[in-house]
Chains A and B, each alone.
Chain A
Amino acid sequence: MKTNFILNGVKISVDAPQEATLLWTLRERLQLTGTKYSCGVSACGVCTVHLDGKPVLSCSLPLSVVEGREVTTIEGLSKNNDHAIQLAFQREQAPQCGYCFSGQVMQAASLLNENPTPTDAEIVSHMDSVLCRCGAYPQILKAIKNIVQAGRS
C-alpha cells in the first residue's frame, strides 16, 4: 500500500503493508532512527513526532493516517541541532541515557510552538506524557523554563 506524505519538508511516497505504523516505517523503511520505539502502546511518549505541527505518538499511528499530511521528526526539527529547545537541553546537560530525548525534544517544541509563554504548571502538564527512566525531569523542566523566561525578558 502506498502512502504519500510530506516528511521533514520533502514529499515522499512509501510502500508498506496495511498494518504498518508510522514509527516502524520511519525507523526501518526510511532509516530515520531518531524517533525511538519504547512502549508501542502510547504510554511513554518516547516516539513523539509532529503531525501537521501537533505532537502525535508514532508507535500507535497507522501509516495510512499521514496520507497527504505533514510529518516532522527530530531529524527535521532543525538543521544544526540548534532549535531553542535543543540548545536549552544542551545547556542544562539534560539527557542522561538519552533514549527518550527525541520524544522530550519534540514534545517540548510543540508546546513552545503553541504557547511560547506557558506557566510552570502548563509545562509540567504538557511534558507529563513523556517518560524518562533516568530521572532527568528536573533538567528537562529547567531547560524549558529557561526558554520561557528568556522569551519574557
Chain B
Amino acid sequence: MIDKQQSQISRRQFLATTGGVTIALFGACLFPGCTQQNAQMSGDVEWVEKEVGVWVRLLYDGQMIIYTPSAEMGQGSMTSVPLILAEEMDADWSQVRVLQSPVDAEVYGLGWSPGRDKHMTTAGSRSIRHYYQLMRETGAQIRMAIRQNAANKWQVHVSEVITQPGEVLHEKSNRKMSFAEVAKFGNFDILPSVDTLQLKDPKEFRLIGKDIPRQDIPEKTNGTAQYAIDVQLPGMLFGFINRSAAHGAKPKLTNKQAILAIEGVKSVVELAHGIGVLATSIESGLQAKGQMQIEWGSTLSDSHNSVEDLAKYTPDGAQEIRQQGDVQTAFQMANSIIEASTTNKYVYHGQMEPLNAVVFFSTNKKSAEVWVGSQAPDRAQKAVAEKLGLEVNNVAMNLLYLGGGFGRRSLSDYVAECAELAASVPGLPVKLIWTREDDLAYGAFRPQLRNFFKAGIDKQGRITAWQQTAVGPGGNMSSRGAEISHYDIPHVRLLRKELDHGIRTKHFRSVGHGTNKFAIETFIDQIARSQNKDPYQYRLAMMQGNARARKVLERAVEMSAYDPIPKEGTAMGIAFADRDAYTCGVAQISLNRDTGVIRVHKYWCACDGGVVVQPKNAIRQIKGAVIMGISLALKEQVDFSAGKVVQSNYTDYPILRMSEMPESIDVDFIYSEEVLHGLGETGLPATGGAIASAFAALTGKYLNDMPFTPERVLQVLNS
C-alpha cells in the first residue's frame, strides 16, 4: 500500500523540525483542494508514532511503516526491500505497511559504485542487491535499539532481552512488550553503531527466502492500484502533444488560431520537439491534436532507413574497446578461422501504461507538485524544476505505481514535457497523456546493431582467439554484455563502431546483454556445430576456469534433459548469459516449414540466484523475462523509413500473447548465502540464442538475424 498522495516536503527538514515524535497527517497534498483518497490504512486519522531513523516509523497502535526506496514497476521490490529490514529487525510482517520513501537521493538513494553520486534510479536489477546490506544493518540497529530501550525500562542487562516477531522478551522474569509499547517510551535518537552488531545467521531467517505475499497485489486485482494516469484533481486539464515523427525535427504550427478556437481548448504550447495542447476534456484534446497542421524542419534522422542502413553496416573504422592477449597473432597461428555476422533490429519497450504525468504549477509560480510513475524520480524532479525555473526543493514528488518500466521510464522526457505544458496554466493541474501511437512513434529504442565475429580455432577445434565488432547506435548500451570472460578463450578483442542516425535509443530490460548474448551465443553454437561438437559439451569444455558458470550450464542440461538430437519434429537449443546472475536457457521448439512459424514448446532456465529474498517472485520475474525474450526473438522490430517509425500500435508491433507462450517454463536456482545477483532481467538474454540453437539442431541452418519472423525463417530455410 504505497501512500500515493503523500506530499513530500524534504524528509530531512521534516525530521529536523519534529524531533523524533511526530504527529503525521497522511495525504496532505500541497495541491489546494486535493481530494484524493489515501490508502486504506490512513484515512483522515492522525497517527501517533515514533520515527526510528529515516526508514521506519513505529506506530503506537502496533503497526509499523517501512519506506521503500525503489519504484514499483512489477518487480516486487516494494515488498522485498522492506522485507530485508523487517527480517533483521524481527518485525511482525503482518503489521508492516510499506510506503514509498520521499524522493531524496541523499537519504534514500545509493551510488551504484563507491564514490559515485547517490541517486534513486530503479534499474539494472539493482534494488535487492544494492540495498540488501543497508537494510540488514538498519534492521539490526533498530532491533538493538528496541532491546536496549526495553532493558533500560526493565532494569536488566540488554543481553538478557531477546526479540521475537514484533515483541521483546525477558525470559527470566517472564516479561514481554510489543515494539509499539517500546516505541511509546523509548529513545531512538541515536541508533547503535553498525560495527557493534551481529547480523542474523541466515539459518534463522523468518522472512527472507520464505515467499511472503507482495503488498501491491490486492490493489492490482480490483483496480484500486493508482498509476499516474489515474490521478484526478479538480480543474485538471488534459494535455496532448504532436511530436516530430522524425526525431529531432522542429515544428511550426500553421493553424494555431483554428486550434485555439476548438471548444474546450485552453492553450497551445510550442515545444522544441512538438506542439502541445491543453483542453478541458480528453475528446477536445484529441480533436485538437488531430487537427493540428504542422510543418516539420529537417533533421539528421530524415535520411535513416533502418533496414537498408543495417544491411550496409561495415566494421571498417571500428575502434578497439579492449583486448586481452594478442588476437592478431593468435589468428595467424590458428588452424582455421570462422567468421559470421549477426543483426538485431530496434525494439520498443511497449509497457502497457503509455507514458503520462501530472504536474501542478502553483498560481504564484513558486512551487510545483508532480504525480508520476518514474524509474528515476529524482531526475524527474530536477527536470521539472529546470523547466519551471524552481529550486528542486519546491517541486513535491508523488511516485505512483508504474504500469511497466523496462528502462523507458528512467528517461524523464515525458515529465519535463508535462511541466512545460503546466507552465502555460499556473494554478491548474495538467495531465499529459501519450497515446499508444505517441508512445511508439516517439519511443526510445533498444538500438539496432550488427555484430561482426571472427574466431581462431586450433587443431582440437577449440577457440583460441575471438574478435567481436559491434556496429550501430546506442553508445555503451550496445557494448554492454559483449563479454565472454566466463569462457576460457585466451585472446579476446572487442571493437565498437558508433553510428548516429539521430534516433533516440534507450536501455531496455537487460540492456546490451539482450542483443549481445544472442549474437555471441549463436556464433559459439555455429562454431561448435562446425567442429561436430555437441553445443553443450563444447561450452562446458570452455568453462573449466569458471566453476560457477559451469554449474549453471550443467543444471540447465540436467533439468531439461537436454538432447542435441532432434526428435519427432522438435529440437532443443541451449544458450548461456551473464546479465549479473549467470543463467542458462534451454528451448525446445518446433517449426512449421510452410509458414515459417517457430513455436517454443518448453523452456528451462537455470540461474545462480545467490541469496534470493523472495524465491517464487524471482521465478515469476524470470518467467516474465523469458516470455519477453521470446517475444523479442520471434516478433518484435521497429523500422524507420525516412526517419519515421513505420509501426504504430500493437496491431503492427505485435508482442507475445498467451497462446504463443511456451507450454511450460521451468526455473531453477542455485542458491547461496553470501552473494546477491540481480534477477529482474537475467532470464531474458539467453532466449534468442537458445531458440536459434534449437533451430540449427532442427534444420542445420542458422538464424543470425533477430527477430526470427516467419518471412525471415522462410528465407533462411530456402537459402
Give Cα A43 to B351, complex, Å.
14
Give Cα A92 to B464, complex, Å.
48
Give the residue of B287, B617, B649 whose beta carbon is less than 8 angstroms from that of A19.
Answer: B287
Give Cα A131 to B401, complex, Å.
19
Give Cα A127 to B659, complex, Å.
8
Task: Report whether B282 and A28 are in contact in the complex, using a CB–CB cutoff of 8 Å.
Answer: yes
User: Is residue A96 within 8 Å, beta carbon to beta carbon, of the partner chain?
Assistant: yes
Task: Report whether A97 and B73 are in contact in the complex, using a CB–CB cutoff of 8 Å.
Answer: yes
User: Is residue B627 within 8 Å, beta carbon to beta carbon, of the partner chain?
Assistant: yes
Task: Report whether A90 and B217 are in contact in the complex, using a CB–CB cutoff of 8 Å.
Answer: yes
User: Is residue B354 within 8 Å, beta carbon to beta carbon, of the partner chain?
Assistant: yes
Give the interface segment out of A50-58, A99-107, A110-118: A99-107
Give Cα A58 to B232, complex, Å.
20
How far is the CB of B560 from the nearest CB of chain A, in Å?
A: 17
Task: Report whether B216 and A39 are in contact in the complex, using a CB–CB cutoff of 8 Å.
Answer: no
Binary interface encoding of chain B residues 665-700 relative to chain A, with 1 for a CB under 8 A from any of its CBs, else 0: 100000000000000000000000000000000000
User: Is residue B657 within 8 Å, beta carbon to beta carbon, of the partner chain?
Assistant: yes
How far is the CB of A91 from the nearest CB of chain B, in Å?
A: 9
Instruction: For chain A, give the interface size range.
Output: 35 or more
> Which A residue sits closest to B220, measured CB to CB?
A98
Give Cα A139 to B624, complex, Å.
10
Task: Report whether B218 and A136 are in contact in the complex, using a CB–CB cutoff of 8 Å.
Answer: no
Task: Report whether A28 and B217 are in contact in the complex, using a CB–CB cutoff of 8 Å.
Answer: no
Given contacts A39-B649, A41-B649, A96-B74, contact A105 B624 (CB under 8 A): no
Point out the residues of chain A lying under 8 angstroms from B74, CB to CB: 95-98, 134
Point out the residues of chain B lying under 8 angstroms from A68, CB to CB: none
Give Cα A93 to B211, complex, Å.
10
Binary interface encoding of chain A residues 120-139 relative to chain B, with 1 for a CB under 8 A from any of its CBs, else 0: 00001101111111111111
Task: Report whether B217 and A93 are in contact in the complex, using a CB–CB cutoff of 8 Å.
Answer: yes
How far is the CB of B280 from the nearest CB of chain A, in Å?
A: 10
Task: Report whether B658 and A33 are in contact in the complex, using a CB–CB cutoff of 8 Å.
Answer: no
Give Cα A128 to B658, complex, Å.
5
Task: Report whether B354 and A38 are in contact in the complex, using a CB–CB cutoff of 8 Å.
Answer: yes
Give Cα A17 to B283, complex, Å.
8
Task: Report whether B657 and A134 are in contact in the complex, using a CB–CB cutoff of 8 Å.
Answer: no
Task: Report whether B657 and A34 are in contact in the complex, using a CB–CB cutoff of 8 Å.
Answer: no
Instruction: For chain B, give the interface size range.
Output: 35 or more
Task: Report whether B225 and A135 are in contact in the complex, using a CB–CB cutoff of 8 Å.
Answer: no
Give Cα A109 to B716, complex, Å.
43
Point out the residues of chain A lying under 8 angstroms from B227, CB to CB: 36, 99
Give Cα A38 to B401, complex, Å.
15
How far is the CB of B63 from the nearest CB of chain A, in Å?
A: 20
Give the residue of A28, A86, A93, A101 whose beta carbon is less than 8 angstroms from that of B617.
Answer: A93
Give Cα A19 to B621, complex, Å.
40
Interface set, chain A 29-84, CB cutoff 8 A to B: 31, 33-41, 43-44, 46, 73-75, 77-78, 81
Task: Report whether A99 and B221 are in contact in the complex, using a CB–CB cutoff of 8 Å.
Answer: no
Give Cα A19 to B620, complex, Å.
41
User: Is residue A22 within 8 Å, beta carbon to beta carbon, of the partner chain?
Assistant: no
How far is the CB of B207 from the nearest CB of chain A, in Å?
A: 16
Task: Report whether B651 and A41 are in contact in the complex, using a CB–CB cutoff of 8 Å.
Answer: yes
Task: Report whether B627 and A135 are in contact in the complex, using a CB–CB cutoff of 8 Å.
Answer: yes
Given contacts A124-B658, A133-B352, contact A105 B221 (CB under 8 A): yes
Task: Report whether A98 and B232 are in contact in the complex, using a CB–CB cutoff of 8 Å.
Answer: no
Task: Report whether B620 and A96 are in contact in the complex, using a CB–CB cutoff of 8 Å.
Answer: yes
Given contacts A43-B651, A128-B659, A139-B620, contact A86 B221 (CB under 8 A): yes
Task: Report whether A37 and B221 are in contact in the complex, using a CB–CB cutoff of 8 Å.
Answer: no
Give Cα A101 to B283, complex, Å.
25
User: Is residue B184 within 8 Å, beta carbon to beta carbon, of the partner chain?
Assistant: no
Per DSSP, are chain A's interface residues mostly helix, strand or loop, or mixed? loop
Give Cα A97 to B219, complex, Å.
11
How far is the CB of A144 from the nearest CB of chain B, in Å?
A: 10
Binary interface encoding of chain A residues 15-30 relative to chain B, with 1 for a CB under 8 A from any of its CBs, else 0: 0110110001001100
User: Is residue B178 within 8 Å, beta carbon to beta carbon, of the partner chain?
Assistant: no
Task: Report whether A93 and B616 are in contact in the complex, using a CB–CB cutoff of 8 Å.
Answer: yes
Give Cα A97 to B351, complex, Å.
9
Task: Report whether B221 and A95 are in contact in the complex, using a CB–CB cutoff of 8 Å.
Answer: yes
> Which A residue sits closest to B264, measured CB to CB?
A17
Interface set, chain B 584-636, CB cutoff 8 A to A: 616-617, 620-621, 623-628, 631
Give Cα A44 to B649, complex, Å.
10
For A46, A134, A136, which residue has the most chain B Cβ atoms within 10 angstroms? Answer: A134
How far is the CB of B227 from the nearest CB of chain A, in Å?
A: 6
How far is the CB of B125 from the nearest CB of chain A, in Å?
A: 14
User: Is residue A147 within 8 Å, beta carbon to beta carbon, of the partner chain?
Assistant: no
Task: Report whether B222 and A137 are in contact in the complex, using a CB–CB cutoff of 8 Å.
Answer: no
Point out the residues of chain A lying under 8 angstroms from B623, CB to CB: 135, 138
Point out the residues of chain B lying under 8 angstroms from A105, CB to CB: 221-223
Given contacts A105-B221, A133-B628, contact A99 B659 (CB under 8 A): no
Give Cα A43 to B617, complex, Å.
29
Interface set, chain B 411-452, CB cutoff 8 A to A: 433, 435-437
Given contacts A89-B221, A97-B353, contact A128 B657 (CB under 8 A): yes
Give the interface segment out of B241-249, B402-410, B528-536, B574-582: B402-410
Task: Report whether A134 and B624 are in contact in the complex, using a CB–CB cutoff of 8 Å.
Answer: yes
> Which A residue sits closest to B79, measured CB to CB?
A93
> Which A residue sits closest to B216, measured CB to CB?
A98
User: Is residue B113 within 8 Å, beta carbon to beta carbon, of the partner chain?
Assistant: no
Given A93-B213, A133-B404, A137-B627, 20 additional A-B pairs, CB 8 A: A17-B284, A24-B282, A33-B226, A33-B230, A39-B650, A39-B651, A40-B435, A41-B649, A43-B649, A81-B222, A93-B217, A94-B221, A95-B74, A97-B73, A129-B657, A133-B351, A135-B627, A135-B661, A136-B624, A141-B658
What 9 pairs between A and B have smallest CB-CB spacing? Answer: A34-B223, A99-B403, A135-B627, A98-B220, A135-B624, A96-B74, A97-B74, A74-B223, A33-B230
9 residue pairs A–B, Cβ–Cβ below 8 Å: A24-B282, A36-B353, A40-B649, A86-B221, A97-B353, A99-B404, A102-B223, A133-B406, A138-B620
Residues in B lying within 8 Å of A, measured CB to CB:
73-76, 213-214, 216-227, 229-230, 232, 238, 281-284, 287, 350-354, 401-406, 433, 435-437, 616-617, 620-621, 623-628, 631, 649-651, 655-659, 661, 665
